[in-house]
């Protein structure tokens, strides 16, 4: 989480640059995606490339020295991506949720959902967590695993609305193409972390949920304008003005407030930034050098 927050502070100072994702359809059910960033304050640049083929994702980050251009590392990044995505939600929650927030509703129980809740638990003292996903056994397994990991009771519930009810913080992290969170469910003071779906035709939130938000923060506005169905579709109807959204670096640096009052509904839409991948890769690389692990390539 520190690496993600530091990279955003570097971005606020003009010392880090993020480039939106580029996508290539390489064939039937085969996709190649690339995203680049540079963090001059840490002296590195790099890119993440990931593929989807045969129903399987593979992620790699290439990290280079910005002074010499030398390739420092190639890092398999499935797990690292899971951690940085959760970390970003944790950072946003720290600045955007009410200080006394203690209850969480999670919609989704897959690979990414674990680090989402774990990160939130590090920035707020949680007392109650509920989780919903359509598969009964998967949500039960998630609840059991996270209860043991976090040392608090995580309760599987029967519907998304049950998960959201009485929650201070709501996390959506699904692969659904249709809304799983509705504006009519939202209560004053809620913070929403929408971390699933990076597709102009996919929306985890309905229009009313977006309209209900008093503050909308995105990780990268230029990326959100071509990838976030939740925001693009309302914007196309004049229900959202892009210039009124904020980027996460503005909130972390204090240039913009993450919450104006306790009753505000706040929304963080996370799509994933290459800058977070480069920052995470730098931490992994430095630790690998320090501990003498990894394999050197001549």
Task: Write the DSSP assignment of the chain as a string of letters.
Answer: -HHHHHHHHHHHTT-EEE---EEEEEETTEEEEEEEEEETTTTEEEEEEEEEETTEEEEEEEEEETTT--EEEEEE-HHHHHHHHHHHHHHHHHHHS-TT--EEEEE--STTHHHHHHHHHHHS---EEEEE-S-HHHHHHHHHHHHHHHTS-EEE-SSHHHHHTT-SEEEE----SS-SB-GGG--TT-EEEE-S--BTT--SB-HHHHHH-SEEEES-HHHHHHHBHHHHHHHHTTS--GGG-EEHHHHHHTSS-S-SSTT--EEEE----HHHHHHHHHHHHHHHHHHT-S----
pLDDT in tens, 206-224: 999 999 999 999 999 999 9
- Residue 297 belongs to a domain: no
What's the pLDDT at 197?
A: 86
C-beta pairs of 232-240 under 8 Å, 24+ apart in sequence: 232/200, 233/203, 233/207, 234/207, 234/210, 237/207, 239/207, 239/210, 239/211, 240/210, 240/211, 240/216
- How crowded is the C-beta side of 271, counted as CA atoms within 13 Å? 30
Whether residue 32 is found in the same domain as residue 97: no
Does 228 share its domain with 212?
A: yes
Mind listing the pLDDT tens digit for each residue in 152-193?
999 999 999 999 999 999 999 999 999 999 999 999 999 999
pLDDT of residue 295: 87
Q: Are residues 56 and 88 in the same domain?
A: no
Yes or no: say if 198 and 222 are a contact pair by the CB < 8 Å rule: no
Residue 117 lies in a domain: yes
C-alpha neighbours within 13 Å on the C-beta side of residue 281: 31
105 and 64 housed in the same domain: no
Same domain, 176 and 95: yes
Mean pLDDT across the chain: 96
Report which of residues 212 and 198 the model is more confident about.
Answer: 212
In a domain, 296, yes or no: no
Distance CA 94, CA 124 (A): 7
Examine the domain organization and report whether 98 and 190 are in the same domain. Answer: yes
* pLDDT of amino acid 263: 98
117 with 245, same domain? yes
Domain annotation covers residue 250: yes
- Position 215 in a domain: yes
Q: Which structural domain range is residue 71 located in? A: 2-80+275-291
The answer to whether position 232 is within a domain reads yes
- What is the number of structural domains in the chain? 2
Together in a domain, 58 and 145:
no
Among residues 163, 159, 172, which one has the least CA distance to residue 130? 163
176 & 250 share domain: yes
Prediction pTM value: 0.95
Do 35 and 142 belong to one domain?
A: no
Query: What pLDDT, on a 0 to 100 scale, did the predictor assign at position 279?
Result: 97
**Same domain flag for 263 and 225:** yes
Q: Are residues 92 and 7 in the same domain?
A: no
> What is the model's pLDDT at position 27?
87
Confidence of residue 251 (pLDDT cuts 50, 70, 90): very high
pLDDT value of position 206: 97
């Amino acid at each position: 989480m520190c690496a993600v927050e530091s990279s955003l502070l570097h971005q606020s100072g003009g010392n880090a640059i993020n480039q939106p994702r580029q996508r290539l359809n390489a064939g039937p059910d085969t996709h190649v995606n690339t995203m680049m960033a540079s963090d001059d304050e840490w002296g590195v640049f790099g890119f993440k490339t990931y593929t989807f083929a045969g129903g399987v994702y593979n992620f790699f980050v290439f990290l280079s020295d910005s002074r010499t251009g030398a390739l420092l590392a190639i890092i398999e990044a499935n797990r690292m991506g899971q951690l940085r995505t959760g970390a970003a939600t944790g950072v946003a929650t720290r600045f955007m949720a009410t200080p006394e927030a203690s209850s969480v509703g999670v919609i989704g129980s897959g690979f990414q959902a674990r680090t989402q809740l774990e990160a939130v638990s590090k920035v707020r003292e949680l007392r109650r967590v509920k989780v919903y996903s359509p598969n009964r056994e998967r949500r039960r397994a998630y609840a059991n695993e996270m209860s043991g990991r976090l040392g608090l009771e995580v309760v599987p519930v029967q519907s998304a609305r049950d998960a959201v009810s009485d929650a201070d913080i709501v996390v959506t992290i699904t692969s659904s193409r249709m809304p799983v969170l509705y504006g009519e469910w939202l209560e004053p003071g809620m913070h929403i972390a929408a971390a699933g779906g990076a597709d102009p035709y996919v929306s985890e939130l309905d229009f009313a949920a977006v309209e209900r938000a008093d503050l909308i923060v995105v990780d990268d506005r230029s990326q959100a304008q071509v990838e976030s169905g939740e925001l693009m579709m309302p914007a196309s109807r004049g229900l959202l003005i892009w210039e009124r959204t904020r980027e996460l670096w503005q909130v972390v640096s204090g240039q913009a407030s993450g919450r104006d009052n306790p009753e505000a509904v706040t929304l963080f839409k996370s799509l994933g930034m290459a800058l977070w991948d480069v920052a995470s890769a730098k931490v992994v690389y430095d630790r690998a050098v320090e501990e003498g692990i990894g394999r050197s390539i001549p």
